[in-house]
A and B are shown apart, each in its own frame.
Chain A
Amino acid sequence: MKTEKPEKTKIAAASAAHRIAVTGLLAALTLALSFVERTICAALPLPPGVRPGLSNVAVMFSCIALGLPFALGIIVVKAGFVMLVSGVSAGAISVCGGVLSVLSVALLARLAKKRLSYIGISVVSAVLHNAGQLIAASFLVGSALYLWMAPVLLISGVAFGAVTGILLNAVLPALLKIVPHVNKDKL
């Protein structure tokens, strides 16, 4: 599907400064989404540790459109935010989940180019996000209590991962309008 060849010249024009500015924009979006999600989830009867992960929409987009380093930057910003709001251990848990999740997105975007849609990538990303959080929590709490939650988090990862994948599908045109100068070949 290499019909949009002229775009390639624009990528060259997209400077590092531009990319960093876009990263900042996406980081802000990530924080906003995760804040909204926290507020909504407080009112929902979800089991402990289960959250939809809406902000993953922005993180996935940045990982695919801008590249892994930029997505990792967003993860660090988000973890810093979580740390300020909920403490150091919550921040550490957030980093572990985020890094594992972003690595899986980068890997799948490269390896399974045409095999997986955003839904599949998002599902894997959400499941690994939960897995990373669970592993970090198990280490921090010093008990394997959290591994007991594994099946629930696995299923919720699949379910909410599919939801965020579909959301990414839906908002992709809008995101591209905000951030036009990205390598669309990778999307």
Chain B
Amino acid sequence: MIDRIKPKKADLILILLLLAAAFSLLLARGRGDALTAEITVNGVSENSIDLRAVESPYDITLQNGVRLHVEPGGISFAESDCRGKDCVRCGVLKRAGQAAACVPNQTLVLLTGKPQKGAPDAVSY
């Protein structure tokens, strides 16, 4: 009979390695903070996307013709039929608390979640 009752040194090493892997995963996903993009049109919630769960980029086209580009940890206005295109120029939203909007189309994208450590509370522009 092989003695598998008594814990071995390898058990401990294995457990420590797995825990180390878990914690590095935790660090890699940004201190475990959620980041959700809330999309509203005319004040009505249209969609809500967990940006941390996005693995590869994709586009969403809303009913009003606005096209949003979703990527891992970020979202941006890709296309809008408005003339000013301020929404497209806003660039990629990446941090909780950021917002971008296409005012003519009444489309708002707001990132919710706990702010990341070290990120500013707001950006003045």
Contacts and interface: CB of A to CB of B under 8 A. Distances in A.
Nearest to A4: B1
Given A124-B14, A154-B21, A186-B2, A148 B8 contact: no
A151 B14 CA distance: 16
Nearest to B3: A1
Contacts of A150: 25
State which size class the interface on B falls in: 20 to 34
Nearest to B10: A115
Contacts of A113: 2
B29 interface: yes
A158 interface: yes
B1 A119 contact: no
B52 interface: yes
Given A123-B18, A148-B50, A184 B4 contact: no
A120 B23 contact: no
A150 B2 CA distance: 33
A147 B22 contact: no
23 contacts: A1-B1, A1-B2, A113-B2, A116-B4, A116-B8, A117-B8, A117-B11, A119-B7, A119-B11, A120-B8, A124-B14, A127-B18, A143-B53, A146-B53, A151-B23, A151-B25, A151-B26, A151-B32, A154-B18, A158-B18, A158-B19, A158-B22, A185-B2
